[in-house]
Amino acid sequence: MSSIARSLLKSVRHGRAVCLRSRSSAGRGEQHLRQLVLGIETSCDDTGAAVVDGAGNVLGEALHCQKEVHLQTGGIIPVVAQQLHRENIEQVVQDALSASGVSVAELAAVATTVKPGLALSLEVGLRYSLDLVNRYRKPFIPIHHMEAHALTVRLTHHVEFPFLVLLLSGGHCLLAVAQGVSDFLLLGQSIDIAPGDMLDKVARRLSLRKHPECHGMAGGKAIEHLAQSGNRHQHTFRLPMQQYRNCDFSFSGLQNLVNKAITEKEKEEGIEEGEILSCVQDIAAAVQHVVAVHIFQRTYRAMLFCMKNSILSAKNAALVVSGGVASNHYIRKGLQALADASDFAFLCPPPRLCTDNGVMIAW
């Protein structure tokens, strides 16, 4: 490994940003003015790449999704995800560069997700990027995955700092005030599992892969789909963390309650685990609702905290929501209503930019 690669790895491990000056790019003023950045994302199960310029124009992007493979195994297996990243990263990056009409030599920098995420998946993107910057003598920018999600909205909307951001995904759930590009005030986060993870696990427990309406759907999407035709009032689940007056989240205890209710219904209907309950739509609706209300309550508390402590101004207060679970229409509509009632602007990137992608990393 070269001295540059060793330096980059050391800096990434310590969480420091790296911006090495390239001797071969010295004097190329026009190239630097264009600010063309290649973004690479491999934090979980999607291999993404994109070229974005300094004005926020997406010149080219590509994405390889592993969803179908992981649906067959009932969840993400890290070593499988790693192998799929290895098999696809070269093609994904080349497709993004080809679509953009930009060569690696024209790039101002390479930006890559380095944390948080699955270690085996992150390693693939990091090693590929280090090889690129070493071969082409380009600056390297390590990117925090959640910061990228938080800032994606500034690619699609005009929003000034500071703003309140709620990040909801399969691996994370947090509330923070974005005070600057690399300046975040953390208000709350999940103390156990993320909402997307919980919804996926409930979907597996309900065996929704076998449901005729849910073929090919990820767990959370299957829950959302079935909830549309369900009656949430048929099941009541206790809201988490009612005794804690903070902005943290918790979903593991709720998942245990749901699992217990499913087991009881299976006994009532005389079916084995793995068979489809007749009331599966009602359970899906009740689960989606309690997850949503828990998120609404903690978000509202964060809003009140920010206004009471003058962290946000009443004149331009904004709630930004991003991450894969932000694509759930039931949750998104509720957050929109909450923002409207609280005189907050509600901003959310389009669904394709809420899930993991190379565009947010490059931006």
- Spatial neighbors of 257 by CB under 8 A, at least 6 apart, are 237, 238
With tokens 């290895």, the residue in question is 86
Q: Is there a contact between 323 and 172 (Cβ–Cβ < 8 Å)?
A: yes
Parse the chain into domains and list their residue ranges. Answer: 3-138, 163-350
pLDDT tens digit sequence for 114-141: 998 899 999 999 999 999 999 999 999 9
Q: Are strands 109-115 and 58-65 parallel, antiparallel or unpaired?
A: unpaired
Q: Count the alpha carbons within 13 Å of 257 in the hemisphere toward its beta carbon.
A: 16
Question: Whole-angstrom Cα distance, residue 222 to residue 199?
Answer: 9
Q: Is 129 helix (H, G, I), strand (E, B) or coil?
A: helix
Based on DSSP, count helices (H) and strands (E) in the chain, helices before strands. 14, 10
Q: How many residues does the chain have?
A: 363
Q: Is there a contact between 86 and 103 (Cβ–Cβ < 8 Å)?
A: no
Splitting the chain (363 residues) into consecutive groups of 10 residues, what average pLDDT does each group show? Answer: 42 40 37 78 94 94 86 78 94 97 95 93 96 95 93 93 94 93 95 94 94 90 97 96 96 97 97 95 98 98 97 94 90 96 95 90 96
Q: Is 311 helix (H, G, I), strand (E, B) or coil?
A: coil
Q: Which residue from 39, 46, 73 is spatially nearest to 355, judged by alpha carbons?
A: 46
Q: Within 10 Å of residue 135's Cβ, how many Cβ atoms?
A: 10
**Check: CATH 1.10.10.10 for 3-138?**
no
DSSP string, 68-101: HHHHHHTS--HHHHHHHHHHHHHHHHHHHHHHHT
Q: Is there a contact between 357 and 48 (Cβ–Cβ < 8 Å)?
A: yes
Q: Is 211 helix (H, G, I), strand (E, B) or coil?
A: coil
Question: Whole-angstrom Cα distance, residue 71 to residue 296?
Answer: 29
Question: Whole-angstrom Cα distance, residue 14 to residue 32?
Answer: 27
| DSSP state at residue 275 | B
Q: Is there a contact between 218 and 71 (Cβ–Cβ < 8 Å)?
A: yes
**Which tokens sit at 357?**
């992608």
Q: Is there a contact between 59 and 65 (Cβ–Cβ < 8 Å)?
A: no
Answer left, alpha or beta for residue 330, where phi above 0 means left and psi between -120 and 50 means alpha.
Answer: alpha
CA distances from 29 to 59, 114, 137, 215, 245 (A): 20, 29, 16, 53, 53
Q: Is there a contact between 132 and 288 (Cβ–Cβ < 8 Å)?
A: no
Q: What is the CA radius of gyration of the chain?
A: 22
- Spatial neighbors of 190 by CB under 8 A, at least 6 apart, are 172, 173, 174, 248, 249, 250, 251
Taken in order 286, 289, 295, 297, the sign of the CA dihedral is negative
- pLDDT, residue 7, reads 43
CA 64, distance to chain mean position in Å, is 16
**Check: CATH 3.30.420.40 for 163-350?**
yes
- The pTM assigned to this predicted structure is 0.85
The reply to whether domains 3-138 and 163-350 share a CATH topology is yes
